[in-house]
A and B are shown apart, each in its own frame.
Chain A
């Protein structure tokens, strides 16, 4: 699968000439104007928001659409026989169709709305894991997983006795394919890996991982919450069994995530949560369940959040996922080049193919101090362990600062980051 967000590290030199974002078909100024938060002044400086990997800002197209859905189109879904409820239901189900078309699912029935990516992975761990895995079966994850793709499997291990195997990462942050192949064996029942490392920016070879896992007879879950943002996904071409992502990193609202699964597989899985809307018939003796996706959407769903997510996808689709990825990759090269020139700064994660995420250390300065000081210059980055402690331990780090680039960032944001980091050095020297 061509991963549009992929950026070859060796292209640094070729891209460092970039000084402006005015590529012919990408108008970053117009895009920035759609995001109210980007007009903020923080501590008298324009906000340079470089934390989209944690959660992205929202365009007016999403905000206005959700506002309208709450003001004029709101009722509960799948329940009322009145006009407004039908309208809300149509909006909710149309959002499902928008998501299905976006990820190229076979049918909207393969799209389950969840609370976030964490809930999507927990759904698979509970419903699929507890039904189809047995004590002694093995689950393979990578060393680059964030806690959302580690802890659900540990809970499953503690409950039923499966084993967890971890694919190591090399010093540059590359996924070690040969080590993965060594771990695959007849006991492997599930492979659960991220598409993109949220700390190192590494783009994992997920197409190949899926093929190898299937050859070994294992199912595959891809955590796409960082990956889908930088180029989208084609789930049919990828051919994984589950693909999970979240709305709030995709310029949509918080409170909504998506689990895509192959329909025949989903329909063999029992419900994860019980409640209204997921049942066919309930008596006190026996309840029968509807098919996917309703089976996995107990209770009132995130109605307006679904509408907002669809609006975000429409917004990105209008601009073009490929255009966004090209823009972000240029900025990644520009930022990598600029940061590398700061003496004492070390970039953690130099994988062969990277998404626009840059973790770094500055000699003698803790990431938390970096974050506080550059905030005084209007720059927002994440500092800490990024909910990926095993990976931090692997690189001997307790915390890094992380700049993550989104569709609305420009070279001025990067320049502001670099100036602010020089100010950090000034204070600490």
Chain B
């Protein structure tokens, strides 16, 4: 169990949790959505600037949450910038499977680097109650780019 805890709270996650990247409100965002985790009190807002051809030109977030949800949002905003919306959809699906401990099969080669980065969050699979923390920001960005305003991880 203590190994699982150490795996969940790796240095990379603690660093992103304490010093989140892209923690800001960009004025030129084209869409945004709130992600609420009502049972824990986590509240994030994800801002996205979607440019022509459905490319994400900028992604950022604000809010409060646990180390896992903040680290996940921090890493996600870095990863999705420069990607197409459809690619973000793919990555979300893969990431969700990783968090739940499901087999992700042979992911497309172009996602390999991103999946390597996201792998540090896969420690949540040992903590089913925390999967929703890791996926909160992804639910929010999914809602933002597909035109919903608020999502709940419940």
Cβ of A399 and Cβ of B2 under 8 Å apart?
Answer: no
Contact of A376 among B1, B39, B42, B66 (CB under 8 A): B1
Which B residues are in CB contact (< 8 Å) with A398? 41-43, 64-65
In the complex, which residue of chain B has the Cβ closest to the Cβ of A428?
A: B14
A366 within 8 A of B: yes
Cβ of B2 and Cβ of A368 under 8 Å apart?
Answer: no
Cβ of B40 and Cβ of A44 under 8 Å apart?
Answer: no
Interface string of B94-132 (1 = CB under 8 A from A): 000000000000000000000000000000000101100
A300 within 8 A of B: no
Among A364, A389, A392, A399, the most chain B Cβ lie within 10 Å of the Cβ of A399
Contact of B40 among A364, A399, A427 (CB under 8 A): A399
Number of A-B pairs, beta carbon distance below 8 Å:
55
- Among B5-13, B26-34, B48-56, B74-82, the stretch that binds chain A is B5-13
Cβ of A376 and Cβ of B40 under 8 Å apart?
Answer: no
In the complex, which residue of chain A has the Cβ closest to the Cβ of B18?
A: A364
Which A residues are in CB contact (< 8 Å) with B143? none
A347 within 8 A of B: no
Cβ of A369 and Cβ of B66 under 8 Å apart?
Answer: yes
Which B residues are in CB contact (< 8 Å) with A384? 39-41
Shortest beta-carbon distance, A355 to chain B, in Å? 23
Which A residues are in CB contact (< 8 Å) with B43? 398
Complex interface residues of chain A between 156 and 195 (CB less than 8 A to chain B): none
Contact of B6 among A368, A399, A427 (CB under 8 A): A427
Which A residues are in CB contact (< 8 Å) with B133? 368
Which B residues are in CB contact (< 8 Å) with A399? 40-42
Which A residues are in CB contact (< 8 Å) with B9? 369, 373, 427-428
Give the size of the chain A interface in residues (CB under 8 angstroms).
20
Complex interface residues of chain A between 372 and 407 (CB less than 8 A to chain B): 372-373, 376, 383-385, 389, 392, 398-399
B68 within 8 A of A: yes
Contact of A373 among B5, B18, B42, B65 (CB under 8 A): B5
A317 within 8 A of B: no
Shortest beta-carbon distance, A73 to chain B, in Å? 38
Which B residues are in CB contact (< 8 Å) with A365? 67
A288 within 8 A of B: no
Which B residues are in CB contact (< 8 Å) with A236? none
Which A residues are in CB contact (< 8 Å) with B130? 368, 372
B87 within 8 A of A: no
Among B9, B42, B66, the most chain A Cβ lie within 10 Å of the Cβ of B66
A373 to B130, CA, bound (A): 12
B148 within 8 A of A: no
Cβ of B41 and Cβ of A376 under 8 Å apart?
Answer: no
A307 to B14, CA, bound (A): 50
Shortest beta-carbon distance, A380 to chain B, in Å? 13
Complex interface residues of chain A between 358 and 372 (CB less than 8 A to chain B): 364-369, 372
A356 to B119, CA, bound (A): 42
Which B residues are in CB contact (< 8 Å) with A368? 40, 42, 65-66, 68, 130, 133
Shortest beta-carbon distance, B16 to chain A, in Å? 13
B93 within 8 A of A: no
A373 to B127, CA, bound (A): 11
Which B residues are in CB contact (< 8 Å) with A23? none
Which A residues are in CB contact (< 8 Å) with B4? 376
Cβ of A392 and Cβ of B5 under 8 Å apart?
Answer: no
Shortest beta-carbon distance, B34 to chain A, in Å? 13
Complex interface residues of chain A between 410 and 429 (CB less than 8 A to chain B): 427-428
Which B residues are in CB contact (< 8 Å) with A27? none
Cβ of A43 and Cβ of B1 under 8 Å apart?
Answer: yes
Query: Known contacts A384-B40, A399-B40, A399-B41; is A369 also within 8 Å of B67 by CB?
Result: yes
Which A residues are in CB contact (< 8 Å) with B129? 372
Cβ of B5 and Cβ of A376 under 8 Å apart?
Answer: yes
Which B residues are in CB contact (< 8 Å) with A44? 1
A368 to B40, CA, bound (A): 7
Cβ of A427 and Cβ of B5 under 8 Å apart?
Answer: yes
A365 to B41, CA, bound (A): 14
Shortest beta-carbon distance, A361 to chain B, in Å? 12
Cβ of A366 and Cβ of B1 under 8 Å apart?
Answer: no
Cβ of B1 and Cβ of A385 under 8 Å apart?
Answer: no
In the complex, which residue of chain A has the Cβ closest to the Cβ of B64?
A: A398
Shortest beta-carbon distance, B99 to chain A, in Å? 14
Which A residues are in CB contact (< 8 Å) with B5? 372-373, 376, 427
Interface string of B126-146 (1 = CB under 8 A from A): 010110010000000000000
Among A364, A369, A385, A399, the most chain B Cβ lie within 10 Å of the Cβ of A369
Interface string of A33-54 (1 = CB under 8 A from B): 0000000000110000000000
Query: Shortest 6 CB-CB distances between A and B: which pairs?
Result: A366-B66, A399-B41, A368-B66, A43-B1, A398-B41, A385-B41
Known A384-B40, A399-B41; further 7 A-B contacts with Cβ < 8 A: A44-B1, A367-B40, A367-B41, A369-B67, A369-B68, A376-B4, A383-B40
CB<8 Å pairs between A and B, sample of 11: A364-B18, A366-B64, A366-B65, A369-B9, A376-B1, A392-B41, A398-B43, A399-B41, A399-B42, A427-B9, A427-B14
